[in-house]
Amino acid sequence: VHCGAGQLLVESLQLPGGKVLRAAQVLAARADQFAVGNRFEPALHE
């Protein structure tokens, strides 16, 4: 997420097919998916 000069506080996240969790829980379990420079792109369906 790019916010320019501002900030964005993400308190909760919901991964596809999952339940809403605190952001800290998701980051602890899936830190590799949220590394600096990663992009969220839609999955390609065949």
Looking at the 3D structure of the chain, how many domains does it have? 1
What pTM does this model have?
Answer: 0.58
Question: Is residue 1 included in any domain, yes or no?
Answer: no
Question: Is residue 20 included in any domain, yes or no?
Answer: yes
Label residue 22 by pLDDT band (50, 70, 90).
very high
Question: Is residue 2 included in any domain, yes or no?
Answer: no
> If you average pLDDT over residues 16-31, what whole number do you get?
92
Buried b (16+ CB within 10 A) or exposed e, 7-32: eeeeeebeeeeeeeeeeeebeeeeee
d(CA 27, CA 25): 6
Checking if the pLDDT of 44 tops 90, the result is no
Label residue 45 by pLDDT band (50, 70, 90).
low
**Neighbouring-strand partners of residue 22:** 12
Question: Is residue 44 included in any domain, yes or no?
Answer: no
> If you average pLDDT over residues 31-44, what whole number do you get?
80
